[in-house]
C-alpha cells in the first residue's frame, strides 16, 4: 500500500489497477460527483494541441484523457501508454477505443524515441511513481523541444476549515464506496488512494520538483478545495 517502497510499490500499483479495471470509471464518477471529467478537459486544454499533433497520454488507464483529447482536435494522433494492460483492455472496448494507439509502457522506461511527441498528458500517474526525477527525465526525453507536459493528480488537504470534511471523504466515504463498488478484490485500492494522496507532495513542492527536473515555465491550478492539482510546463 502507500507505505510500500521501490519495486514492491510499483508491482502493487500495477496489480491493483489490473484488479479494479472493470470498476475504475464508475468509481471515478461516484467519488468526485462527476467532476473528474471537468479536470481532464482542463488537462487537454493546457496541452494546447493542434491539428496533426502527436500526443502521449501516459498512465492512460481506460483512456479518459485520451478520448477527451481526440474530441478536442481533428487529426490528432494519440498514443495511450500504461503498464497495467487490463486497464487499457477496458479502454479498447469503449466507443472511441479504436482511435487510440494503446501501448504497454512503464513511465520510468518509455518505449518511445527522443523528441517523439508534441505533448504528454498524465492523469494520476505522478503519485504512484517510485522515482519522480527519472519519470520527468523520461518525459522530457520523448517530448519535442517546446512540447507541453500536463499532469493531473490528487493533493494532500491543506490546513483550512475544509480539512475535516475532506478527511472524512478520504478516510471513510472513498473506502466505503470502494468496498461496495470494487468489492473484496479491489477494496484495498480505495484505501491506497486516500493514503497515497495524504502522503503526496503539495502542489508547490511538485511544481518545484518539475522545475528542478528541467521543465520550463511550470504553473499549476488546483480544484475541488485544493485536493486536485493540474501542473503544466514545457520542454
- What is the binding site for ligand SAM (CB under 6 A)? 10, 13-14, 17, 59-61, 64-65, 82-84, 87, 105-108, 123-125, 128-129
Q: How far is the CB of 60 from ligand SAM (least distance, A)?
A: 5
Site of grid cell 486544454: 45
Smaller CB distance to ligand SAM: residue 67 or 166? Answer: 67
CB of 164 to ligand SAM, least distance (A): 25
Shortest separation between residue 160's beta carbon and ligand SAM, angstroms: 26
CB of 211 to ligand SAM, least distance (A): 22
Phi, psi of 183, deg, nearest 5: 70, -175
Measured between alpha carbons, how far is 213 from 169 in angstroms, rounded to an integer? 33
Give the integer Cα–Cα distance in Å for 6 and 76: 35
Q: Of 118 and 128, which CB lies nearer to ligand SAM in the complex structure? A: 128
By Cβ distance, which residue is nearest to ligand SAM?
A: 61
Nearest to 26 by CA among 167, 183, 168: 183
CB of 91 to ligand SAM, least distance (A): 9
Neighbours of 11 (CB within 10 A): 12
**Strands across the sheet containing 100-104:** 100-104, 77-82, 54-58, 117-123, 143-154, 228-234, 216-223
Which residue is it, cell 479504436?
98
| Alpha carbon distance, N-terminus to C-terminus of the chain | 33
Amino acid at each position: 500500500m502507500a507505505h510500500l517502497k521501490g519495486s514492491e510499490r510499483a508491482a502493487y500499483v500495477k496489480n491493483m489497477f489490473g484488479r479494479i479495471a472493470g470498476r475504475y470509471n464508475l468509481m471515478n464518477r461516484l467519488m468526485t460527483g462527476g467532476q473528474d471529467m471537468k479536470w481532464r478537459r482542463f488537462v487537454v486544454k493546457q496541452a494546447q494541441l493542434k491539428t496533426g499533433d502527436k500526443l502521449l497520454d501516459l498512465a492512460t488507464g481506460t483512456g479518459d484523457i485520451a478520448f477527451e483529447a481526440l474530441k478536442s482536435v481533428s487529426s490528432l494522433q494519440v498514443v495511450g501508454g500504461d503498464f497495467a494492460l487490463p486497464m487499457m483492455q477496458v479502454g479498447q472496448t469503449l466507443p472511441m477505443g479504436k482511435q487510440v494507439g494503446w501501448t504497454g509502457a512503464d513511465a520510468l522506461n518509455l518505449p518511445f524515441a527522443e523528441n517523439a511527441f508534441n505533448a504528454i498528458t498524465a492523469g494520476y500517474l505522478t503519485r504512484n511513481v517510485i522515482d519522480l526525477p527519472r519519470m520527468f527525465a523520461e518525459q522530457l526525453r520523448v517530448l519535442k523541444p517546446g512540447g507541453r507536459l500536463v499532469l493531473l493528480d490528487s493533493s494532500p488537504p491543506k490546513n483550512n476549515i475544509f480539512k475535516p470534511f475532506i478527511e472524512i471523504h478520504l478516510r471513510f466515504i472513498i473506502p466505503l464506496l470502494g468496498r461496495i463498488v470494487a468489492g473484496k478484490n479491489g477494496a484495498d485500492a480505495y484505501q491506497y488512494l486516500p493514503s497515497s494522496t495524504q502522503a503526496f507532495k503539495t502542489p508547490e513542492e511538485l511544481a518545484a520538483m518539475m522545475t528542478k527536473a528541467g521543465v520550463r515555465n511550470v504553473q499549476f491550478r488546483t480544484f475541488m478545495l485544493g485536493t486536485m492539482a493540474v501542473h503544466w510546463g514545457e520542454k
